[in-house]
Amino acid sequence: MILQNLNDKISNFLITNQTMDKLNFPSLKDNITVYEMLLRNNTVLRRFIDRNQKDDFYIPKELLIISNREMKRINDALNMINTLSKLCNHNNIPFVMTKAFQHFPDMGHDIDLLIMDKNSSLENILKKQFEYKRRPISLSSYIAGKHAYLLSVCESPIEIHNNRLGHFGEYKKYAKKVIDRRMPFTFNGNSTFIPSIEDQLIIQCIQRVYGHRTVRISDVIQVSKLVNNSSFDWEYTRSAISANGIQPGFEHYMSVVNNLCKKWNVETIDSHRYIYQVIKNNNLTMPDFNGSVYKTTSLSDLGILYIKIYLFNIFHMQWDSIFRLSFLPLVALLNGVRNILKRNYR
């Protein structure tokens, strides 16, 4: 309960204009480890420090050191993103940085790169130009065709998604749509491509509901930012989630985010007509807190959502997606065994 209360205070602090004094935060200096864990896991470390410095609030030296290390990691990642973008452009490889800038100035722990590269030429180039290690991947990532690399010049791993998106690589047609609708993004005088604002929301839903099953403070902030964009295309969004069979998951995710907004006493997202329509009949209770983040789905809820996608693909005869999703029971079983073994060896 203590961690959850602190997590909620951090959320309220970053989303509103209230100061840490007014929100009665625990001492930063006496709780460095706890703050670091919550801020990192919610991908808001840089924004938390920047906001406090703007408010002239005292930041302990230890936390500043942690923040500076994180800034260096992010700067190295930005340099790598620039390098990857130039390599893709030079070799005529369509690409998009699917999630790198969604929480900027914070960044996730890895660099996700979606490419359309039938000959895997980018990976061959990387192997020739850099010292690298292949990162171990899960069975679901193997099924999805993902490849992960750790290059000597960058602390953040690179995860390459070739022609596919989704936990099992089940969204092949949608991956092409994301590439087709990509938009340019400029950072530090350099250019790359990121998903359209609508695809950013859809990709986040796929990742948070069907993959990680958690929602972070940074995700709630990003959803609010996206849906409040005046140019957001709801017609495309409705069409895309329907065409990919993820409407139930999308409605579920919007309900989770809206409930968290209510909990944190910030502006909810159900003022938007479409969101109100899709969540008004959703009886979702407040999501559970899981140590440092909130859960989006229970295992039983996730199973139901995947069954709905599986049935959708059968109805629409999407055989490639059906084949990939058929591995779900095996992956779930292996993950369960692994978790049991972890508990027994602690």
Examine residue 329 and say whether the peptide bond preceding it is cis (omega within 30 degrees of 0).
Answer: no
- The average confidence (pLDDT) of the chain is 90
What structural domains does the chain harbor?
2-59 (no CATH), 79-195 (3.30.460), 196-305 (no CATH)
CA distance 74 to 84: 15
Whole-Å CA distances, 12 to 33, 174, 211: 20, 35, 26
Q: Within 10 A of 130 (CB to CB), how many other CB atoms are there?
A: 16
How much is the pLDDT for 170? 94
Higher pLDDT, 277 or 178: 178
Q: Within 10 A of 142 (CB to CB), how many other CB atoms are there?
A: 15
82: region left, alpha or beta (phi > 0 left; psi from -120 to 50 alpha): alpha
Q: Which residue has the tokens 């995710």?
A: 253
Average pLDDT of the segment spanning 222-238? 92
Q: Is pLDDT at 282 greater than 70 in this prediction?
A: no
By residue count, the chain amounts to: 346
How much is the pLDDT for 281? 66
59-116 residue pLDDT tens: 999 999 999 999 999 999 999 999 999 999 999 999 999 999 999 999 999 999 999 9
- Provide the pLDDT confidence category of residue 247 given band limits of 50, 70 and 90: very high
CA distance 170 to 131: 31
Of 44-48, 274-278, 289-293, 325-329, give the lowest mean pLDDT range. 274-278
